[in-house]
Amino acid sequence: MTEASKRFHFPSLEFRREPLTLFLLTGLAIILVAIVALFSRLYHAKLESLAEEWSSRGSADLDAHHYADAVVDYRTALLYDRDNDSYQLNLAEALIGHNGKDETDEAATYLINLWDRQPENGTVNLELARIAASKGQTDRAIRFYNNAIYAIWPGDQEQARHTVRLELIALLMRIHSTVQAQSELIALADNLGEDPPAQAHAAGLFYQTGDYEQALNEYRVSLRGEPHNADALAGAGQAAFKLNQFRLAHRYLRDAVFLRPTDKDSAQLLKLSNLVLQMDPFRQQIRAVDRERIVISDFAAAGNRLKSCTVTGVNSATATRQQSLQQSWNKLKPQVTGRGLRRNPDLINTAMSLVFQVERAGNDACGPGSDTDKALSLIANLHEGL
């Protein structure tokens, strides 16, 4: 042992007491922390198992549409794991399913909290959009629907976005926001790919928004993949009919009725389109004799229309108009014969013009009339515009 080492001593007792105390306290703290950590682990494991237990009960109740029970289950699960996003979302869905006003408000609260944390979550945005839509907050609903369309979805993202967009379109159509609905439909149609039923559905939506041309195009695309889809054929026929493309409409409707004879609407439209094709004297590639015969027939039908739709009342403008048309018809009647039409081909236009006037006045005064009258009105629209 060196002199130096002999002279090196530890602090005396009074100075050693506090460091020793600190050392002991530190040791005690470490031991206690370890014990509490063990207790904490057991405690959290217990809570976790309870949360999972109640969550699985909730999931079963949600699947069985027992929303009230699911609400209780998920509320309990959240007692043990209050920040679990999945539980909160499921609780919100259960609350929405339960469908009370208070429940919807509570669901909205949970969803807003979730949205704060996960603004990119598609389900959260969709549910918020639905709640806003149910409360009539359309701007808010549209914003959340748009968020949902571009959000992240679990599983098939495209399918989820497609579904959301369809809901958005339905909302836009409900609030008569036709232009926005049509633009969403165009986006929808662009992303459909080879999916004839979806294309037919989109075509139907185009039809509902009044965009018959797009509707017909979509139906055609759909029919390429599924030529024997009666719905698509009927839809295409109706769209073509609306576009006054009666020959095309006739073709689609004929196939539709053939495939589904119970489709009365299509059958009626088929009948009308058939009549239009038969009663239209201006259609191309028709013999002069046939044209004259059709004009005579249409003129006679107009006469019948005048007889069947008699408006009384001296001062009525409609009655005056009817009387005037009756006089014109009576005056022209002797000329509208095969010989008269051959001698004066311009008479065809004059006679048909009177026929169209009679049908329009008849529609205004007495409603659509017989199928023949409806067909003549359609021919009038086709050649003279609305």
Partner 1 sequence: MGTFSIFEAGPVAQQERTDSAVAASERSLGALWGSLFREDRFFLVLSVFIGIFSGLAVVCFRFTIDLCRIYLLGSGAQPSTLRLILAPTIAGLVIAVLVIHVFPLARGSGVNQTKAALFIYNGYIPLRTAMGKFITSALAIGSGHSLGPEDPSLQIGACLASALGRRMKLSRERMRLIAPVGAAAGLAAAFNAPISAILFVIEEVIGRWTAGILGSVVLSAVSSVVVMRWFLGNDALFRIPSVEMKHPSELLAYAVLGIVGGLASVVLAGGIKFARPRCKAFAPWTHYFQPALAGLLIGIIAAFGAPQVMGAGYEYMDQAIHGQFTWQFLAILAVLKIVATLLSFVSGTPGGIFAPVLFIGAMLGAAVGGVEHVLAPNLVGSPGTYALVGMGVLFAGFLRVPMTSVFMVLEVSQNYSIIVPVIVANTFAYVISRAMDDTAIFDVLTRQDGLELPSMEEQREESILRVEDAMRPPVKRVLETSDLSNWSARSGDQKAPDVMLVRLKPSGWSSVTRKEIESTGNEDPSGAKLADLLANRQIPYLHPDQPLDVALRYVDRWPLVPVVSRADFSKLEGVITQEGVLERYRDSNLE
Asked whether the beta carbons of 368 and 325 are under 8 A apart, the reply is no
1 binds partner 1 (CB under 8 A): no
The window from 39-47, 208-216, 364-372, 374-382 that contacts partner 1 (CB under 8 A) reads 39-47
Q: How far is the CB of 49 from partner 1 (least distance, A)?
A: 10
Residue 234 one-letter amino acid = A
7 binds partner 1 (CB under 8 A): yes
29 binds partner 1 (CB under 8 A): yes
Figure out which of the listed residues 45, 60, 64, 112 binds partner 1, where binding follows CB under 8 A: 112
119 binds partner 1 (CB under 8 A): no
The smaller minimum CB distance to partner 1, of residues 98 and 201, is found at 98
Least Cα distance to 356 among 288, 294, 277, 301 occurs for: 301
Residue found by looking up tokens 């949205």 in the block: 115
113 binds partner 1 (CB under 8 A): yes
Chain residues 47-76 in contact with partner 1, contact rule CB under 8 A: 47, 50, 53-54, 72, 75-76
* Residue 229 CB-half CA count within 13 A: 20
CA–CA distances in Å: residue 177 to residues 22, 133, 190, 215, 341: 75, 14, 20, 18, 50
Figure out which of the listed residues 27, 36, 56, 288 binds partner 1, where binding follows CB under 8 A: 36
- Beta carbons within 8 Å of 169's beta carbon, 6+ residues apart: 181, 184, 185, 188, 205
Bin 114: left if φ > 0, else alpha if -120 < ψ < 50, else beta: alpha
Least Cα distance to 338 among 364, 305, 366, 299 occurs for: 299
136 binds partner 1 (CB under 8 A): no
Chain residues 72-101 in contact with partner 1, contact rule CB under 8 A: 72, 75-76, 79-80, 82-83
CA–CA distances in Å: residue 21 to residues 9, 12, 24, 25: 20, 15, 5, 6
The smaller minimum CB distance to partner 1, of residues 88 and 125, is found at 88
CA dist 105 and 179 (Å) reads 31
Q: Mask of contacts with partner 1, 339-378, x by CB under 8 A? A: ----------------------------------------
Which residues in this chain contact partner 1 in the complex, by CB under 8 A?
2-4, 7-12, 15, 18-19, 21-22, 25, 29, 32-33, 36-37, 39-40, 43, 46-47, 50, 53-54, 72, 75-76, 79-80, 82-83, 102, 105-106, 109-110, 112-113, 116
